[in-house]
Structure 1
Amino acid sequence: MRSRSARRSSRYSNGPEGRASESLVQREQCFITKRGSMTQVSISTPLSNFIEQQTKGFLCYSESWYNLLQSVYGYSIILLTTTDRLGQIKGILPLCEIKSPLTGHRLVSLPFSDCCPLLASDEDSANDLIDQAIRLAQEKKVKYLELRPGVNDVLAKRSDMVAGNLYVRWLLPLQENPDALWTSLSSHVRRHIHKAQKQDIQIRMAENIEDVEQYYRLHLLTRSKKHGMPAQPRKYFYQLWNDFHAEGKVQIFLAEYHEHVIASIVIFVHDEILQCAYAASDQRFLHLSPNHLLYWSVIKWGCTQQYKAYDFGRTAIDNKGLMEFKRRWGAIEEPLPYYYYPGVAGLASKSEDSKLFRLLTSCWRRLPLSVAGPLGGLVYRHMG
C-alpha cells in the first residue's frame, strides 16, 4: 500500500521570503504579496472554488478575513494545501503565526474564530494537512499549535493532538414562519420579549459607520466593565463593516430606547447560518430586557430570509448563566473541541472560573474607559 505522502502533494506558503516544505510554494493556489507596507493574501480561482464547495460561506475562509487579521493584528497568514496526483485541490488549512512576547509564539487556526472547520475532501487529505501543520510547528519551534475545527473525527482519532473541551456552541434551527418558532421559546424568554416591546424599544439594522461606532461604544463598555477583558480595537469593527457589510456578510442590529442605542449585536452571515459574533449592551438598561427583543428580532429576520439556523456563539461550559440563557431559546448544544499540539495551551484553554482568570478580569474592570480602550487595542493582538 502506498504511503499517504506518495498519494498527496502537500505544500505551504508563508510569504515571498518563506520556506516551502516538501515542494515549491503552490503559487497557482494562493499568493501572499507585499503592496507597499501592506501584506495581502490573494486566493486563486481553483482554491476559491474548493472552499466554496466545502463550506457554507464561512467568513474565516475568505480572502478578506485573512487580510483583516493581517492589517489589524499584524499576523502572518500561512495557507496549507494538499492536492491529488492530478493537481486537484483536496484540502486547505489556514494558520496564523502569532509572535507575542506576552503570550508566546504559536500557530492558530484561526484566532478570533469560534470555529474554523478543517476543509478536506477525504480522511487522507485531512491527515496530510494535520501532518503539515505539526511539521511546521516543529520547524518554527512554536510553543504550541491550536486548531479550532469543532467536532472532527480525524483529529479525535489522532494520538498526537490533544483535545480541549472548555466550550460548546448553541444552534437554533430556524423555520420559515417565525410564529411557529415563537411557541418553542420558553415562557421566560417570551415574557422578556413582551416586556421590551411594552417599553417601546425599537430594533433597527445599522446603515453607516456612525452605527458601527454606536456598537463599539457598547462593546468597549461591556468588555471592560462587565467582563473585565480587553476590547478589540475600533479599527477591527470599522474594517469588518467596510469589508463585509456591502456583500451582506456582516450585519449589525441595534436596540434603541428613546433614540438612544442601549444594546447591539454583530452578526456574521454565512450561506445558511446566522452567527452571533459579538453582543454588547448598556448595563443600566438591562431591566428593560433589550437583549431578548434584539435576539428575537435577529431570529425573525433570519426566518424571513430563509436561513437554516441561528448560532448563539461559543460559550464556556463553566458559564452556567449564559448556558441557561441560550437553552431557554430552544437552541441545541453542540460540543466545540479545540485541538492542540503538543499539549493543551493558550488563552482559549483557560477556564473562566480559574483564579488567574478572575484576578486578571478584576484588575481590568478597575481601568477607566479612556485607558481601557486604547490599551485593549494594543493588548488584544496578543490574545489570538
Structure 2
Amino acid sequence: MSTMIDTATATTTLHLLQPKDYARWDAFVAATPDATFFHRAGWQTIIERTYGHKTWFYYAEQDGRIVGILPLAQMKSRMFGHWLGSLPFCVLGGIVATADAARPLLDNAADQLARQLGVGHLEMRNLVPAHADDSKWLRKDLYVTFRKEISGDDEENMNAIPRKQRAMVRKGIKLGLTGKIDQGVDRFFACYASSVHRLGTPVFPKKYFSIIKEVFGDECEIRIIVREQQLIGAVMSFYFRDEVLPYYGGGMPAARETAGNDFMYWNLMQAAAARGVRIFDFGRSKLGTGAFDFKKNWGFAPTPLEYEYRLYAAPELPDNNPLNPKYQLFIKMWKKMPIGLANFLGPFIVRNLG
C-alpha cells in the first residue's frame, strides 16, 4: 500500500515494511534520538512468529529516505478485548518522525486501520505526550519507567545506591554469588517462570524468549546468577546505543534468602558499565507494585510513561492489569496452581495481554 502527501518541499509517501527493508528501518531507528529499542524491526518477526498476531509496520518516505515510522499490532480475544497498539509486548513504540509531514500521515494510517479492523481502542505507548492537545485521545496514570545514568567506576556506582539497598547487594557478594552469560534460554526461563508463578501472573512461552534471542543476537544478553552450582536468578537484557535494558528477569526461591535479585542487577550494572554503557534502564513498572518499590530503592526516580488511548467501539479505557480488583481471585488461584500446569496454560492467556 502507498499513500501520498504533497508538501512544500517534498512528497511524503506511506508504505508497509517488508523484510527487504528491515535494514533501512533499523538504520533510521539507530540514527534517530527519539527512537528506542522497541522500535526495532525485529519486533515484527517476534510478534508474528510467537503469537501469530497481525502487524502493520508503517513507514513514511521522502526522496527515498525513511522519515517516520509507526509499528502496530492487532490484539483480539474474548477475555481482553480487541485493540490495536504501538507496540504490544514493548514498553514504547509510538510514532517517531523526522519530517513534519510524516507524523500526521502515520497518525491517519493508524486511525484508518483502527476503523477498518473495528477495534475497541487504539493505544500509543510514548515517553512524552504525542496528542496532548487532541481531545480524541485519552490517557491514564498507570506506568512509569526508571532510567539513570551510571559511570564507568564500580565504586561510584555502588555508592550511588541507597544504603539499605547497597547492603542487600553486599550480602549477595558475601554469599559468593557470581554472574555469567548463558547462550540458551532454559535456565533463564526456569527463573522467570518461578518468579511470575509466585506473583500469580501467567507466563510467556519459552518460545517467545528463544525467538527474541534469535532475532536480536548479541544485542540480547542472558545473564544467570549462581551460587557455586545452584541456580539463583537470571535476567534477559537488551543493549541499545549506550543503554542497557534489563527487560525480563526472575529468581528461584533461593533468591530471597541470598539477595539474588539485588546482586543480579548489580552484576549486570557492573558488566554494562565495563563495556561503556552509561544509561541503565530499569524498565516499566506499574504504580503501587513491588517492582515499583524495588526500583525506587535503588535510587532511581520514576518517570511517567505517556500511554495514550483513542476509543472506537469500546465505551471506556481498558483496565487489563493485575491491580484491577476483578483479577484478584484469579491471581490467588494461579499462585496455588502447580507450576507445570501454569507454564502450560499461561501462554494461552498472556498472548492477548501485550
TM-score scaled by length of structure 1: 0.83
- Structure 2 matches for 1:237-316, cutoff 5 A? 237-245=209-217, 248-316=218-286
CA distance in 2, matches of 1:57, 1:114: 12
In the alignment, structure 1 residue 194 sits paired with structure 2 residue 166: no
Structure-2 change in CA distance of 1:315 and 1:44 (3 Å): closer
Deviation of residue 333 (structure 1)?
1.7
Asked whether the equivalents of residues 38 and 91 of structure 2 are also in contact (C-alpha less than 8 Å), the reply is no
- More divergent stretch after superposition (302-311 vs 355-364): 355-364
Partners in 1 of 2:22 and 2:256 — Cα distance? Answer: 47
Paired residues in the alignment total 345
| 1:128-277 correspondence to structure 2 within 5 Å | 128-152=105-129, 154-206=130-182, 208-209=183-184, 212-224=185-197, 226-245=198-217, 248-277=218-247
- C-alpha deviations, 1:123-152, integer Å up to 9, x for none? 542233222211211122111111112213
1:80: which partner in 2?
58
Contact 2:5-2:101 at 8 Å conserved across structures: no
1:182 Cα deviation after fit: 1.6
CA RMSD, aligned part only?
2.2
Residue by residue over 1:308-362, the C-alpha shift from the partner in whole angstroms, topping out at 9 and shown as x without a partner, is 211111111122x43332122222321112111117634xx44543211322211
Find the counterpart in structure 2 of residue 20 from structure 1.
Answer: none
* CA 1:99–1:12: 2 relative to 1, 3 Å: farther
Alignment of 1:41-120 (within 5 A): 41-43=19-21, 46-55=24-33, 58-84=36-62, 86-120=63-97
Cα distance 1:249–1:134, how it changes in 2: closer, same or farther (>3 A)?
Answer: same
Map of 1:35 onto structure 2: none
TM-aligned CA deviation for residue 56 of structure 1: 7.8
Partner of 2:241, secondary structure, is coil
Distance of 1:47 and 1:235 partners within structure 2: 25
TM-score w.r.t. the length of structure 2 is 0.90
Task: Spell out, residue by residue over 1:239-269, the C-alpha distance to the aligned partner (whole angstroms, 9 max, x if none).
Answer: 2222223xx2111111112311111111111
Whole-Å separation in 2 of the counterparts to 1:174 and 1:274: 11
Point out where structure 2 has 5 or more consecutive residues left out of the alignment: none
After superposing on structure 2, the runs of 4+ consecutive aligned residues of structure 1 that deviate more than 4 Å are: none
Tell me which amino acid in the other structure corresponds to 2:275: Q
Classify the secondary structure of the residue corresponding to 1:202: strand
Gaps of 5+ in 1: 14-29, 32-40
**Does the 8 Å CA contact 1:59/1:65 hold for their aligned counterparts?**
no
Partner in structure 1 of residue 14 of structure 2: 11
Q: Which residue of 2 aligns with 1:126?
A: 103
Task: Assess if the C-alpha contact under 8 Å between 1:108 and 1:146 holds in 2.
Answer: yes
Q: Which amino acid aligns with 1:72?
A: T
CA contact (8 A) 1:163 1:337 kept: yes
Percent identical: 21
Deviating more after overlay: 167-176 vs 360-369: 360-369
